[in-house]
Amino acid sequence: MSSYSITEPSKRQKWVAGVLVILYAVITIMPLIWIIATGFKSPADAISYPPKVMFEPTLEGYVNLFTTRTRVSPEALQALPPPATWYEGIVRNRDMVIAGPSRYGERFLNSVIIGFGSTFLSVFLGTLAAYAFSRFKVPLKDDLLFFILSTRMMPPIAVAIPIFLMFRTLGLSDTHLGMILLYTAVNISLAVWLLKGFIDEIPREYEEAALIDGYTRFQAFYKVVLPQAATGIASTAIFCLIFAWNEYAFAVLLTSGTAQTAPPFIPTIIGVGGQDWPAVAAGATIFLVPVMVFTILLRKHLLRGITFGAVRK
Amino acid sequence: MAEVILNNVSKAFGQDTALDGVSMTIPDGAFVVLLGPTGAGKTTTLRLISGLEKPDTGDILIGGRSVVNDTPAQRDVAMVFQQYSLYPHLTVHENLAFPLKSPILRTPEDEIARKVAEVAEVLQISHKLNNKATELSGGEMQRVSIGRALVRDPSIYLMDEPLSSLDAKLRSDLRVELKRIQAGLGATLLYVTHDQIEAMTMATHVGVLDQGRLVQFGTPREIYENPVSLYVASRLGLPRINTLPVALFGDAPAGAATIGLRPEHIAQGQGRDSTVTRVEHLGDQTRLHLSLEQHDIVTLTDVHTTLRPGDTVAIAPRNPLYFDTNGTRIA
């Protein structure tokens, strides 16, 4: 046995820790790999048992995701001119022709508009509110802050029925604006509290210096506070986007056509007759990309956001 | 530059009175130093003049105009904060240029460049101009924060212990430099410090604050030689003034309770015998610690003294100050 050290873990400890971390990482990433792989499988490979690790990749799932198809008789298929595009060819192999584009594109765009729209609104309003709570004498400040926090104390879906009725009366059902307002309402408390924490940590002296240097309160906020709150704003934006992007229950309940987001749409891809798992997996894979990119771009800030409050200056 | 007048200004934070009826005239071109322990109201005075706080009662005039309802920007004051308060997301150059770019000044680019270079030169930070403000040492930060005030030409400069975190050499350099700049510009400057050397060497006027009240205002010499109270007397002078019961030397005016003896106001070789307890050789001066009837006394003596602990020295007061039981000066 080598000598015991508090600061330096032993070789065996490092090994155990390493193996545990890798194991945990594999378990965590498995569903992701499964989804991505399934998107490139043929329908037969997708449901084969035992699951195929090695398979011949195909874009059939992606083609099916973005198109609607109709089945034609073999004779009619023969009569058609040769397929003009590669995706037409993939569809013909299944005795079908492309009838038109699917609605996935629109639904995805809805997700982008609603997700980023509500994220922007939450962070924008949250920053202003957090600044006010952090810096000014607001009457009943503590009560207001508690009230804002208390909106998080129940699952949002608990108020689904009143919101459903409210939206119907106000004509907000199945509108982009309605969904943006709803997600903003859910996210705003998180945004206010997170950002207040960040802004509290920015010493007031910076603004005071700016005030004396000849700037107005708003200019001081804009030129001095905002740049320093960038970390907090970025991590708050990620949390807000992740919620709004992934939200399913309200989207199912309140949207059906114009404003339907991708999460309620993806399960409907599964189709009639056959179960088109590759298309569903393809839809999920593409759906993952924006949040993943956004998170990777801002991941330094995100880490800071997660550990926020742990280190006191 | 302008004259600044405080007229019966009071300010309380909740239950705590920070300033209590302070009246003070800072003449145009004066270098006024505020002295007092922590909590005496020095920083509050600066913040009231700058407009970061509003007085509860009283009036503040800059250049003859009441400014109590003006924003800090409208008052045209420059302030050096004790905690530097450099903008951490900006470089040193951008920090120095920040006040010049403000909507009230809108300085042209070439003039900004010229002024920043000039101030950086004086404060010996030219080589750091492109550093982020957070990549500086404490002393450098403090110099940048002084520079951020000096680039401007405000009605008054307010400085809150601007030299406190510099090392001794830089501090004495900048003390001279600051005084030179102030005299050269004819600038009005209100300066808060704990350091009595700064007060004595730079000030044209010294104001002594005690628990929110201005107890004496005058030239450094006046404050030193003619303090109104024991409290003021102990603000200036190093080593500090010795305070002893009057009975020790006798022959005191009626009502006197305490005798105040500055180290240089003790004559040696006559009077009462005291015992040497310690001899401190500081190079330029030698401090003699004496004991007389259990009372400790500090005085100065010949640099090359041969006195040793245990020796006996006769001492007598010379030009002593007398205070009553409340510490008020009576003679």
What is the chain A residue with the closest CA to B75? A212
pLDDT at A7 exceeding the cut of 60: yes
* Secondary structure (3-state) at A40: coil
Task: Give the minimum alpha-carbon distance from B86 to chain A in angstroms, rounded to a whole number.
Answer: 7
A95 at interface of B, judged by CB pairs closer than 8 A:
no
Average confidence score pLDDT of chain A: 88
Distance CA A43, CA A278 (A): 6
- Residue B89 forms contact with A (CB below 8 Å): yes
* Closest alpha carbon within chain A to B102: A214
Chain B contacts of A209, Cβ < 8 Å?
Answer: 79, 81, 85, 87, 148
Q: Taking residues A223-230, what's their average pLDDT? A: 89
CA distance linking residue A177 with residue A83, whole number of Å: 42
Q: Are A64 and A266 in contact (CB under 8 A)?
A: no
Whether the complex's predicted ipTM is more than 0.85 is answered with: no
**Distances in whole angstroms, Cα of residue B174 to Cα of each of A196, A200, B75:** 39, 34, 27
Does B15 score more than 50 pLDDT? yes
The single residue listed with the structure tokens 């050096």 is B80
Adjacency order of strands within the sheet including B286-292 = B295-301, B286-292, B266-281, B312-317
- State how far the Cα of A183 lies from the Cα of A156, in Å rounded to an integer: 10
Contact residues, A window 199-218, toward B, CB-based 8 Å cutoff: 203, 205-206, 208-216
pLDDT tens digits for range A114-148: 999 999 999 999 999 999 999 998 899 999 999 99
What is the mean pLDDT of the segment spanning A77-102?
86
Contacts of B72 in chain A (CB under 8 A): 208, 211-212
Give SS3 for B205: strand
Write down all domains in chain A, each with its CATH number in brackets.
Answer: 43-102 (no CATH), 105-306 (1.10.3720.10)
Beta strands in B219-265 (DSSP E): 242-245, 258-261
Mean pLDDT of B249-273: 87
Superfamily, domain B242-323:
Nucleic acid-binding proteins (2.40.50.140)
Whether residue B127 has pLDDT greater than 50:
yes
Which of A135, A213, A224, A313 would you mutate first to test chain B, the one with the most B CBs within 10 A?
A: A213
Domain ranges of chain B: 4-233, 242-323
CA A90 vs CA A62, A80, A95, A273: distances in Å: 11, 15, 10, 19
Contacts with B241 (C-beta within 8 Å, 6 or more apart), sequence order: B233, B234, B260, B261, B262, B263, B321
Please report which confidence band the pLDDT of residue A311 belongs to, taking 50, 70 and 90 as the band edges: very low
The reply to whether B71 touches chain A by the CB within 8 Å rule is: yes
Contact A206 B87 (CB under 8 A): yes
What is the C-alpha to C-alpha distance for residues A227 and B305, in angstroms, rounded to an integer? 62
Selected residue with higher pLDDT from A196 and B269: A196
Tokens coding A208:
């005071």
Architecture of domain B4-233: 3-Layer(aba) Sandwich (3.40)
Q: What is the pLDDT of residues A50-68, one digit of tens each?
A: 888 888 899 989 998 998 8
Q: Can you tell me the mean pLDDT for B89-95?
A: 91
Alpha-helix residue ranges (DSSP H) falling in chain A: 11-39, 43-47, 60-66, 74-79, 86-92, 104-135, 141-150, 160-170, 176-200, 204-212, 217-220, 226-228, 230-246, 249-254, 262-265, 277-297, 299-306
User: Is any Cβ of chain B less than 8 angstroms from the Cβ of A192?
Assistant: no
Which tokens is B158 given?
A: 């307010």
Say whether A208 and B81 touch across the interface (CB within 8 A): yes
pLDDT of A291 over the 50 cut: yes
